[in-house]
């Protein structure tokens, strides 16, 4: 949808800025006025990861005058295949600081503001308030709903993107958009999917270059919103399939049944990050990786079951484990393969999936089954550091 410019133009561009942005300036739709709007814009990017990395680099290169970064994590080697704002020498550094340094290399005229905190209900409004536009590059539903609701309460537009394996999505949400065009994320997803239903990128993986494809679309939308050119994705969901190389758009409508957003809520509870059944099952039935090692060393007879997927099992495994993917346990298909005459210990990558499987086993009568807190990652970090992690 065509929208008026979000930002007023800055007073001027310097000689150096004119030289830097000359290829923008000779586009009639952008021109001096559009570039001055970009210079005057304050854009906040939530997350300096897969989507935030290309978005921050291209926003900086485009000449957005002020860039805020919300990021509390550190750079890990597993980030580097897709998070191109970070490099090998940044491993172990705060992502926000690494991103700032890369932005300064791309464009020293950008004012970079760091918010090195976990975005939560008690800080989100204060952080968002000073920015014209939000880009949401997060990878979990709890934070997405938090970003949405805060943007609605403050009347801010935001650009949203999502990636998984070979597919990406993007849209623009703005509850207070002019002429009754307003939509927000809850019009697309009124309720979060059940806990464990949608794997994260850490569980399911993501093609690295997909982040660049969706991140650049998000920046394109940001530029259009700031300058008031073109048709934005407000009211449309763009879906990209990298394997089929197809783009399609789905028309979005305002949900007439949607509850008006008047306050922030407990988003972890709303999204059921870990199901109640999994939490109940794990209570009193959780062991550490070190305790698992003690069980093995003492020669205790038990069944160690890995509930990850086969391709994960090929990457790294705990010695003596047997692979039975979680979905086969949840469906009941694999229950006959699980021994009833000895203790059962479940594990996954980090503990979430094994907790779900544990709840299913308890329900099926395996009351003494336990799972490993932290999963194979904890084993590799605490017991056998020679093993790779992913």
If asked whether residues 157 and 282 sit together in one domain, one would say no
Among 221, 242, 271, the domain boundary falls at 271
Please list, in sequence order, all residues whose beta carbon lies within 8 angstroms of the beta carbon of residue 387, skipping any fewer than 6 positions away.
Answer: 316, 376, 379, 380
When pLDDT is cut at 50, 70 and 90, the band that residue 177 belongs to is: very high
Q: What average pLDDT does this structure show over 61-68?
A: 98
CATH classification at residue 47: 3.40.50.720
Token output for 33: 């006025």
Among 239, 271, 303, the domain boundary falls at 271
On whether the CB atoms of residues 222 and 159 are closer than 8 A, the answer is yes
Give me the chain's average pLDDT, please.
94
Q: Which of 211, 348, 376, 378 is catalytic?
A: 348
When pLDDT is cut at 50, 70 and 90, the band that residue 275 belongs to is: confident
Q: Please check whether residue 6 lies inside any domain of the structure.
A: no
Q: Domain range spanning residue 285?
A: 276-382
Q: Please check whether residue 190 lies inside any domain of the structure.
A: yes
When pLDDT is cut at 50, 70 and 90, the band that residue 196 belongs to is: low
When pLDDT is cut at 50, 70 and 90, the band that residue 273 belongs to is: low
Q: Please check whether residue 126 lies inside any domain of the structure.
A: yes
The string of pLDDT tens digits covering residues 373-388 is: 999 999 999 999 999 9
The Cβ-side half-sphere exposure at 119, using a 13 Å CA radius, reads: 33
Q: Please check whether residue 45 lies inside any domain of the structure.
A: yes
Q: What average pLDDT does this structure show over 20-43?
A: 98
If asked whether residues 282 and 267 sit together in one domain, one would say no
Q: Please check whether residue 355 lies inside any domain of the structure.
A: yes
If asked whether residues 200 and 97 sit together in one domain, one would say yes
pTM, two decimal places:
0.81
Q: Is 362 buried (19+), middle (13-18) or exposed (0-12) by CB count in 10 A?
A: middle
Q: Please check whether residue 241 lies inside any domain of the structure.
A: yes
Collapsing DSSP to helix, strand or coil, 8 comes out as coil
Among 205, 238, 271, the domain boundary falls at 271
Query: What is the C-alpha R_g of the chain?
Result: 24
Strand 167-173 versus strand 158-164 pairing type: antiparallel
If asked whether residues 293 and 263 sit together in one domain, one would say no
Strand partners, 349: none
Q: Which of 38, 57, 119, 201 is catalytic?
A: 201
Widest Cα–Cα separation across the chain: 79
Q: Is 130 buried (19+), middle (13-18) or exposed (0-12) by CB count in 10 A?
A: exposed
Is 80 exceeded by the pLDDT of residue 307?
yes
When pLDDT is cut at 50, 70 and 90, the band that residue 201 belongs to is: confident
Give the number of domains in the chain. Answer: 2
Please list, in sequence order, all residues whose beta carbon lies within 8 angstroms of the beta carbon of residue 343, skipping any fewer than 6 positions away.
Answer: 300, 301, 302, 303, 368, 369, 370
On whether the CB atoms of residues 131 and 42 are closer than 8 A, the answer is yes
If asked whether residues 158 and 208 sit together in one domain, one would say yes
What pLDDT shows up at residue 288?
A: 96
If asked whether residues 100 and 189 sit together in one domain, one would say yes
The string of pLDDT tens digits covering residues 98-155 is: 999 999 999 999 999 999 999 999 999 999 999 999 999 999 999 999 999 999 999 9
% of the chain surpassing 70 pLDDT: 97
Strands (E), the chain: 42-46, 66-70, 111-115, 133-136, 158-164, 167-173, 236-241, 246-251, 286-287, 303-306, 322-323, 344-347, 370-372
What pLDDT shows up at residue 276?
A: 77
Task: Please say if 271 is a catalytic residue.
Answer: no
If asked whether residues 137 and 78 sit together in one domain, one would say yes
If asked whether residues 342 and 224 sit together in one domain, one would say no
Q: Please check whether residue 373 lies inside any domain of the structure.
A: yes
When pLDDT is cut at 50, 70 and 90, the band that residue 272 belongs to is: low
Task: Please say if 211 is a catalytic residue.
Answer: no
Q: In terms of Cα–Cα distance, which of 278, 174, 283 is closest to 224?
A: 174
The string of pLDDT tens digits covering residues 308-364 is: 999 999 999 999 999 999 999 999 999 999 999 999 999 999 998 999 999 999 999
What pLDDT shows up at residue 168?
A: 97
CA-CA distance, 159 to 232, in Å (whole number)?
10
Is 70 exceeded by the pLDDT of residue 202?
yes
If asked whether residues 114 and 45 sit together in one domain, one would say yes
If asked whether residues 310 and 336 sit together in one domain, one would say yes
- Which of 21-25, 67-71, 137-141, 288-292 has the lowest average pLDDT? 137-141
Is 90 exceeded by the pLDDT of residue 34?
yes
If asked whether residues 62 and 197 sit together in one domain, one would say yes
Q: Please check whether residue 286 lies inside any domain of the structure.
A: yes
More confident residue, 2 or 285: 285
What pLDDT shows up at residue 207?
A: 96
What pLDDT shows up at residue 151?
A: 98
If asked whether residues 315 and 207 sit together in one domain, one would say no
CATH classification at residue 343: 3.40.250.10
């Amino acid at each position: 949808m065509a929208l008026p410019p979000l930002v007023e133009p800055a007073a001027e561009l310097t000689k150096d800025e004119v030289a830097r942005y000359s290829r923008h300036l000779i586009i009639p739709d952008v021109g001096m006025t559009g570039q001055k709007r970009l210079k005057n814009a304050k854009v906040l990017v939530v997350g300096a990861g897969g989507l935030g990395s290309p978005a921050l680099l291209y926003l900086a290169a485009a000449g957005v005058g002020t860039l805020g970064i919300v990021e509390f994590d550190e750079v890990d080697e597993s980030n580097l295949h897709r998070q191109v704002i970070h490099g090998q020498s940044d491993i172990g550094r705060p992502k926000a600081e690494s991103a700032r340094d890369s932005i300064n290399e791309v464009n020293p005229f950008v004012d970079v503001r760091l918010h090195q905190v976990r975005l939560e209900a008690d800080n989100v409004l204060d952080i968002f308030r000073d920015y014209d536009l939000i880009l949401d590059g997060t990878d979990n539903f709890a934070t997405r709903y938090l970003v949405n609701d805060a943007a609605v309460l403050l009347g801010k537009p935001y650009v949203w993107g999502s990636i998984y394996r070979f597919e990406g999505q993007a849209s623009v949400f703005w509850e207070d958009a002019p002429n009754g065009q307003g939509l927000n994320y809850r019009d697309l997803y009124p309720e979060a999917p059940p806990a464990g239903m949608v794997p994260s990128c850490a569980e399911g993986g993501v093609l690295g270059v997909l982040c660049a494809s969706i991140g650049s679309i998000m920046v394109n939308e940001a530029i259009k919103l700031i300058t008031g050119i073109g048709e934005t994705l407000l009211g449309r969901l763009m879906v990209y399939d990298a394997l089929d190389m197809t783009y399609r758009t789905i028309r979005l409508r305002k949900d007439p049944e949607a509850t008006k957003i008047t306050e922030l809520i407990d988003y972890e509870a709303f999204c059921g990050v870990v199901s109640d059944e999994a939490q109940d099952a794990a209570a009193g039935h959780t062991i550490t990786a070190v305790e698992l090692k003690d069980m093995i060393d003492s020669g205790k007879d038990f069944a160690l079951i890995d509930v990850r997927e086969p391709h994960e099992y090929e990457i790294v495994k705990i010695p003596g484990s047997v692979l039975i993917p979680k979905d086969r346990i949840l469906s009941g298909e694999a229950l006959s393969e699980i021994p009833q005459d000895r203790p059962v210990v479940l594990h996954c990558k980090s503990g979430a999936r094994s907790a779900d499987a544990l709840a299913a086993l308890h329900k099926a009568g395996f009351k003494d089954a336990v799972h490993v807190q932290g999963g194979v990652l904890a084993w590799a970090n605490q017991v056998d550091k020679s093993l790779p992690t992913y």
